Structure 1
């Protein structure tokens, strides 16, 4: 009779329909030594529940010592300082862009000339400057050619 009652209680337990008193009865049965052979598989489950019910929770309260307080304070300060620095940098970039954009609006000089003679003279100046820079580059290439010739003489390739 008792075995049938325990089996019914196990069915109700797994369906989630047991009361606390019925669960206590199951815990008591499975903690005893005379558990039926075919119900041995449930013994660890209810054994664990009886152990878990006996455990007490004792929360640990961490007290701030004088040594820990400055470290935490420094961590918070570093976080706030990094946020403040980011804001200052963004504001600086925004201000720079704002004022330079305003200046660029006023400067719409595209380098055009109304007088063809002036345009011709300015073009000649620009081409002369370009020619001077190209000539400097060519002189450098001549040094490299001399180096190459000397290397070929030494190594006789």
Structure 2
């Protein structure tokens, strides 16, 4: 084989543009004993490919997966923590005395004033919500003008 031809094939090989036939030609050339001295540096690359072709895996593959007990213990610990939390909350919640004061008033005038205060607070909150809806309707109108 001409040295120029092999050098061109090596260049094509490193550019990843060789065909399978050209790669076989390179492997055959570098497997032989008459490799040109300037190309000796490429011999390990192609020699490795020929050697790797005959390698086989001799290890054993375990068929049974190892059981993971840590996940089991973590789930058990989480369950115990949740049960303790629920039990603690229940114990503290039911042992507190129940208040019989429900905000009742004996005097109707006082009850009327307190009711008016509560309704005024609710009215202020509702009015704030309605004001924010005005911004939304203005945004909707602007959007309709722009996108139509």
TM-score (norm 1): 0.50
- Count of matched residue positions in the alignment of Structure 1 and Structure 2: 99
CA-CA distance at 1:40 after TM superposition: 0.5
User: Where does residue 48 of structure 1 map in the other structure?
Assistant: 48
Q: For the residues of structure 2 that align with 1:56 and 1:81, how far apart are their CA atoms?
A: 39
- C-alpha change, 1:96 and 1:8, in structure 2 (3 Å) is same
- C-alpha change, 1:63 and 1:81, in structure 2 (3 Å) is closer
- C-alpha change, 1:62 and 1:85, in structure 2 (3 Å) is closer
CA-CA distance at 1:13 after TM superposition: 0.6
- 1:15-67 deviation digits (Å, cap 9, x = unpaired): 11112221111111011111111100001111011111222446735466xxx
- C-alpha change, 1:44 and 1:80, in structure 2 (3 Å) is closer
Q: Provide structure 2 residue ranges, at least 5 long, that are not aligned to the other structure.
A: 100-148
Q: For the residues of structure 1 that align with 2:97 and 2:37, how far apart are their CA atoms?
A: 96
Q: Which has the larger radius of gyration?
A: 1
Q: Provide structure 1 residue ranges, at least 5 long, that are not aligned to the other structure.
A: 109-157
Matches within 5 A, 1:4-153: 4-57=4-57, 60-62=60-62, 75-76=67-68, 78-79=69-70, 81-103=72-94, 106=97
Q: For the residues of structure 1 that align with 2:72 and 2:11, how far apart are their CA atoms?
A: 62
- C-alpha change, 1:57 and 1:17, in structure 2 (3 Å) is farther
Q: For the residues of structure 2 that align with 1:52 and 1:34, how far apart are their CA atoms?
A: 22
Structure 1 consecutive aligned stretches of length 4 or more whose deviation exceeds 6 Å = none
TM-score (norm 2): 0.53
1:2 aligns with 2:2: yes
RMSD: 3.2
